[in-house]
Amino acid sequence: MSLTGGVLTAAAPPGTGGTAVRGLLRTAGTVVRAAADSGDGPPVTVPRDPAREAARRELSKQMYHENDPGLFQRALKAFWDWLDRLLDSAASTTPGGTIGLIVVVLFVVAVLAALWWRLGTPRRQPSSTATLFDDRPRSAAEHRAAAEAHAAQGHWNQAVQERMRAIVRSLEERTLLDARPGRTADEAAAEAGRTLPAHTDRLRAAAREFDDVTYGGRRATEESYHRIAELDRDLERTRPALAHSTTSTAHTTHQGTDE
């Protein structure tokens, strides 16, 4: 900044606006008046270093920073700048430029949407360590009555749970399973399948249905409940393979004794 021929000139730093210029002029004017008062008189040239220091002090005042963007705005601007550079870089390396990049993005979105529609919402895998019964023991008849009551109200989740418990409790009451606390539905199905091999697959399917409903977050349907209820009725009419084997063995032994 200099005063030549009685005219004071100053270069305003970028972005400071008219307020900063006026402040710099006031600062420079003070320096010039101080020099003029010394008796030297114009023209006066302010050295570069004092002028720079005077400008720095002036621009450090709060009045020049009232409209500065905050931390969040600066961070958001930096993010958008980074994203813009990233997209520009991707567009420059994608065949077709920006149009090609848009086509690729739309294709990826369509694939993800198709997978979501086909596979559905991811569900948590059912736990294999949760127990089948709660702490209060009930008979098979009580579990069946509870299942029917839930089914009458359309509460298929609870109906499936109670009917599966009725199946296992009935097998325990018939001594086809030992009454063991802490047994899971999978364990009950595996043990019962050895005694009732004709129903092994249906027992395992019922156990999976129970686990999916109870621990996997799925919703039971009326059809799934009727399948388990039909299995319960069929098991009631089925003779265990162990009894049949024992009878056959005894008959064979008796024939050998007669001979």
- Write the pLDDT tens digit of every residue in 142-173: 999 999 999 999 999 999 999 999 999 999 99
The pLDDT value given to residue 154:
93
Stronger pLDDT, 188 or 61, i.e. the higher one = 188
Q: Residue 25 has what pLDDT?
A: 53
Average pLDDT of 177-195? 88
- What pLDDT band is residue 79 in, cutting at 50, 70 and 90? confident
At 4, which helix (H) or strand (E)? strand 2-4
- Tokens for 249, please give them: 């063995």
**pTM for the predicted model, two decimal places:** 0.46
- For residue 222, pLDDT over 50 is answered with yes
Element (H, E) at 18: helix 17-37
Residue type, 186: D
Asked if pLDDT for residue 13 goes beyond 60, the answer is no
Least confident range of 2-6, 201-205, 229-233: 2-6
Q: Which of 222, 227, 129, 226 is nearest to 182 (CA)?
A: 129
pLDDT for the residue 58: 73
Tracing tokens 């799925």 back to the chain, one arrives at 218
Q: What value does the mean pLDDT take over residues 231-257?
A: 61
Q: Is the pLDDT of residue 128 over 60?
A: no
Neighbours of 8 (CB within 10 A): 15
Indicate the SS3 state at residue 131: coil
User: Does the pLDDT of residue 116 top 60, yes or no?
Assistant: yes
Is pLDDT of 232 > 80? yes
Q: Strand 7-9 vs strand 2-4: parallel, antiparallel, or unpaired?
A: antiparallel
Q: In this structure, what DSSP letter does residue 121 have?
A: S
* C-beta separation of 64 from 13 below 8 A: no
Instruction: Decide which of 81 and 29 is more confident.
Output: 81
Flag the least confident range among 131-135, 175-179, 196-200. Answer: 131-135
Per-residue pLDDT at 91 exceeds 80: no
Q: 67 versus 29: which is more confidently predicted?
A: 67
Mean pLDDT for the chain overall = 74
- Residues 190 and 202: their CA atoms lie apart, in Å, by 11
At residue 1, does pLDDT exceed 70?
Answer: no
183 pLDDT more than 80? yes
How does pLDDT run across 51-68, given as a tens digit for each residue? 778 777 777 777 766 677
Does pLDDT of 39 surpass 80? no
pLDDT of residue 97: 66
Q: Tell me, what's the pLDDT at 123?
A: 52
